[in-house]
Amino acid sequence: MLNENFMKYRLKKMARMLTFVGGAFLVLFFVSVSSVAQCSGFARAVAKPELSPYLHDGNYNATILGEGETIVLRKTVFKGQKYRLLVKGVSELPKLHFRVLDADSGLLFDNSQVEFASRWDFDVQTTRTIEVEVSVPDDENPEIDTGGCVAILFGLELD
Amino acid sequence: MTFFACNSGAKKESENSEKDIIESVPMNDQLVEDLNKSKLIFYSLPSPLETAMLIKRAGAGFDPDILNPLDNISKYNTNFKMALNLGIYSADLSYASLFDQSQTTIEYMGNARNLADELGILGAIDEQTIRQLEENMNNREVVMNIISETYMNSNAYLSENNRAAVSVIVLAGGWIEGLYLATSLTRGNLQNNKNLVERILYQKLSLVTLQNMMETYRDENSDIDRLLADMQELSEIFDKVTIVNTSEVEAVTDTLNRTTTIRAKSEIEISPDDYILLCEKIAELRNNFIS
């Protein structure tokens, strides 16, 4: 009898723990899905309007980045087309640092030289491949790691 | 046949003291090391809208006969074919929209919607999208915004629902169709519209981007493996295009207006026979995709 009660107690305890763990996984799942979905929402509603009056080329490049992390985007840009590059992060992130490098030769633009501006307008006299390197600087609080959506969008100047 | 991209139309920076010249810096060990630390690389192809703008800016016209016929949609009964042709129809409708072919744009958007629905891409193209197109048929800017938004919505949905490989197939379809439209308009002749031919030859750079993009997903999706083999055949012909930079790259930045002109000279070359081979290979791949 005692063993039966003890087993019932153990089973109830396990069931409670499994419910808690399962619930935690569900919460994490929905939070992560929600975060990722919010990235496209952020890109669409917050970042994309800043391309105006340039037309967004339609490509979607956005992800979640944390402090100290870097991403690179490679794109061919064409002679005769004027572009707007927009690099935008959610407000919780520190100002983003981005550099544009030519695939063959070197540094073309560094936004740290213009107060970490989020956009850069440019054109090219010869078609070439460029790399946009975006970094989230570490902020001054080592105890809290901040992360959030970062969108890298290109706009095309209309004739 | 050799093409020169000239360094013309230089600005007179000395006339404005607020303009700074930021000269390009040679790649050094620090820059290379910094790049190698990058955790994530995105690859961005010319979108259907960008390709259509390149075609128009090169002075080419609209030819409805080179579009993928609408009726072909009934043939697309696998996810692979549907994704490829979603990209292809997107390229066709972008091309039509830039030449104010309103009815064609709406019809092709209808096909794109049907394929997006079949692929389960929720909310990217719906009744409201079609209605907005119809209501703004005469406003090219609004039409292009709608097309840009639907393209982004489709790719964002796929990326964020663990279907990035499908997104890559859509992008590949759109890219090959843009290339097919452009080469068709030159009729396989280097002398027909040299501006357009030059833009076609420079797609050699975009092909490298596409191949890198597909490499990321080849283990996840056997259709991408198949596509990579196709692109390798194309790459072997694009290898016959030679691109030589004949000057240093110089970035001239107007810091007040935050605008930069990237100056450089280059030569791009292909023989007439190889250009014909290139056009034929592009047509062969594209016709396989739409069949």
Mean predicted lDDT score pLDDT of chain A: 83
Distance (Å, whole) CA A16 – CA B105: 58
Is position B1 within any domain?
Answer: no
State the smallest CA–CA distance between residue B249 and chain A in angstroms.
7
Question: Which pair of structure tokens corresponds to residue B135?
Answer: 């209501």
- List chain B residues with CB under 8 Å of A43: 152, 156
- List chain A residues with CB under 8 Å of B153: 40, 44
Taking a C-beta distance cutoff of 8 angstroms, is the pair A104, A128 a contact?
A: yes
Taking a C-beta distance cutoff of 8 angstroms, is the pair B147, B93 a contact?
A: yes
- List chain A residues with CB under 8 Å of B149: 44, 56, 58
**Cβ neighbours of residue B34 closer than 8 Å, sequence gap 6 or more:** A133
Identify the domain containing residue B118 by its residue range. Answer: 19-24+44-290
Is position B6 within any domain?
Answer: no
Work out the angle between the directed axes of helices B79-98 and B222-238 (0-180°, nearest 10). Answer: 50
User: Per-residue confidence at B21, pLDDT binned at 50, 70, 90?
Assistant: very low
pLDDT (average), residues B138-161: 91
The residue among A50, A59, A97 with the most chain B CBs within 10 A of its CB, best to mutate, is A59
The residue among A33, A63, A76 with the most chain B CBs within 10 A of its CB, best to mutate, is A76
Q: Is the pLDDT higher at B211 or at A27?
A: B211
Is position B33 within any domain?
Answer: no
Residue closest to B159 by CA, chosen among A46, A43, A98, A26: A43
pLDDT per position as a tens digit, A39-77: 999 999 999 999 999 999 999 999 999 999 999 999 999
pLDDT, residue B248, reads 87
Distance (Å, whole) CA B188 – CA B184: 7
pLDDT per position as a tens digit, B210-224: 999 999 898 888 999
Whole-number percent of chain B with pLDDT over 90 = 70
A158 vs B156: CB contact, 8 Å cut-off?
no
pLDDT (average), residues A105-118: 90
Is position B181 within any domain?
Answer: yes
Is position B130 within any domain?
Answer: yes
- Domain total for chain B? 1
Q: Is the pLDDT of residue A141 over 80?
A: no
Please give the domain boundaries of chain A with CATH numbers for all domains: 1-159 (2.60.120.380)
Residue closest to B42 by CA, chosen among A150, A61, A134, A36: A61
User: Per-residue confidence at B257, pLDDT binned at 50, 70, 90?
Assistant: confident
Q: Is the pLDDT higher at A1 or at B79?
A: B79
pLDDT (average), residues B261-277: 94
A73 vs B44: CB contact, 8 Å cut-off?
yes
Is position B10 within any domain?
Answer: no
Residue closest to A107 by CA, chosen among B28, B247, B257, B40: B28
User: Per-residue confidence at A142, pLDDT binned at 50, 70, 90?
Assistant: low
Is position B256 within any domain?
Answer: yes
A124 vs B264: CB contact, 8 Å cut-off?
yes
ipTM of the complex model: 0.83
State the smallest CA–CA distance between residue A92 and chain B in angstroms.
21
